[in-house]
Amino acid sequence: MSYFDAASAAPLHPVARQALSASLEEGWADPGRLYREGRRARMLLDAAREAAAEAVGCRADELVFTSSGTRAVQTGVAGVLAGRRRVGRHLIVSSVEHSSVLHSAERHEDDGGTVTRVGVDRTGVVDVDAYREALRADTALAVLQSANHEVGTEQPVAEVAEVCRAAGVPLLVDAAQSLGWGRVDGDWSVLTASAHKWGGPSGVGLLVVRKGVRFAAREAEEFQSLPAIVAAAASLRAVRAEAARESVRLRELTGRIRVRVPELVPDVEVVGDPERRLPGIVTFSCLYVDGEALLHELDREGFSVSSGSSCTSSTLTPSHVLKAMGVLSEGNVRVSLPTGAAEDEVERFLAVLPGAVAGVRERLGAPTPATAVREDALVVDALGKRCPIPVIELAKVIGDVPVGGTVRVLSDDEAARLDIPAWCEMRGQEYVGEEPADKGTAYLVRRTG
């Protein structure tokens, strides 16, 4: 079985396993106690904090361990907002942040605060000027991820940090995906990360608050699992030692996937920035494919990958990242290679993928749509059908209208609002817009050629 979902959780690093086992013998006591066992545990905790701080590039007394990366984000956002409440209650986030950031922003709004969500381009990159324009006199905090968890795009953190610093606004950086590869550049103020993203044990997060940042913790510090903390710090040091060499190797492998997948599989869009990206992540979307079915097919072939497709979500709504980018959500596959991923397994994946996609497309079929000609427009009734069926039906009938004519697709699947415009972008057709319908929504597409 080839595990290609390291962006969700990296396999436990051998150094983490060794450190976890060793520290279970010495680090079981409460490090806050003054007796011998407590002092021994305190020494282990201090050493772990020093190691983690060195990796981050901060002072040891600026770093604390939390029970998860999500808790680190929640505590970091809430702490700065509370500490700077006299300045104002305005928060800035990007539209592609991790759900933990976006949920914190929603809670802030529910509590009476205001939020500006900065958009991204089709590669997932934020505009530095957009952050500059979003800053206000009452801005308490800005948040920006170092790299995106779904598509691997790296963000201009240093440039945004400079803009925020000039305005006197702290910048919180979610470095969960990138910290294992290196320090985060720029004059940021707060940083969060999660150990299971770099091969440490789950249940350990990092929160760094630079000296001088007004911060009001709303919750008492929890007693953490000391062996897990020691293992997290040891594994972070270990993956950093391997990062320079491994990043070159994984970047070549993901670059190979980016180039060859569109050659091997028709109707595929590779998403994310082609250059400014993490070494191990590559994401692509396949037209006319049910993402969940494709993931199951790849799982049967021995590959563990993930998806941002709407059909793999319990809410049946498109990935907020893909939606913000304006790219195709259907048939979405994220390949995130772990440290040590074998080249021959990548080649096997490329050999298996075309057949897997073809099989899913064949099983879905190309349904004969219920159509009715209305003047120069063709009406496609896809009500009650989940994507990618509305897009499949659109593709089958676009040639039945003259150039300049329109197809009106009726759909009540939220994913169609993203996938139909994305299909038009890929196929060179004009997306006119949407309008209310008796049931669902009508999406208008004009044939341009």
Q: Please list the active-site residues.
A: 311
- The pair phi, psi for residue 160, each rounded to 5°, is -65, -40
159: amino acid identity, one letter: E
Three-state helix/strand/coil letters over the chain: CEECECCCCCCCCHHHHHHHHHHHHHCCCCCCCCCHHHHHHHHHHHHHHHHHHHHHCCCHHHEEEECCHHHHHHHHHHHHHHHCCCCCCEEEEECCCCHHHHHHHHHHHHCCCEEEEECECCCCCECHHHHHHHCCCCEEEEEEECECCCCCEECCHHHHHHHHHHHCCCEEEECCCCCCCCCCCCCCCEEEEEHHHCCCCCCCEEEEECCCCCCCCCCCCCCCCHHHHHHHHHHHHHHHHHHHHHHHHHHHHHHHHHHHHHHHCCCEEEECCCCCECCCEEEEEECCCCHHHHHHHHHHCCEECECCCHHHCCCCCCCHHHHHHCCCCCCEEEEECCCCCCHHHHHHHHHHHHHHHHHHHHHHCCCCCEEEEECCEEEEECCCCCCCHHHHHHHHHHHHCCCCCEEEEEECCCCHHHHHHHHHHHHCCEEEEEEECCCCEEEEEECCC
Token pair recorded at residue 193: 């990360």
Contacts of 392 (CB under 8 A, 6+ apart): 288, 364, 366, 367
Please say whether the beta carbons of 192 and 185 come within 8 A: no
Tokens of 363: 């099983």
- In this structure, the number of other CB atoms found within 10 A of the CB of residue 252 comes to 12
CA–chain centroid gap for 2, Å, is 21
Token readout for 65 is 């361990």
Angle ∠(247,201,11) on CA atoms, nearest 5: 45
Please answer whether residues 295 and 315 qualify as being in contact, where contact means their C-beta atoms are separated by less than 8 angstroms: no
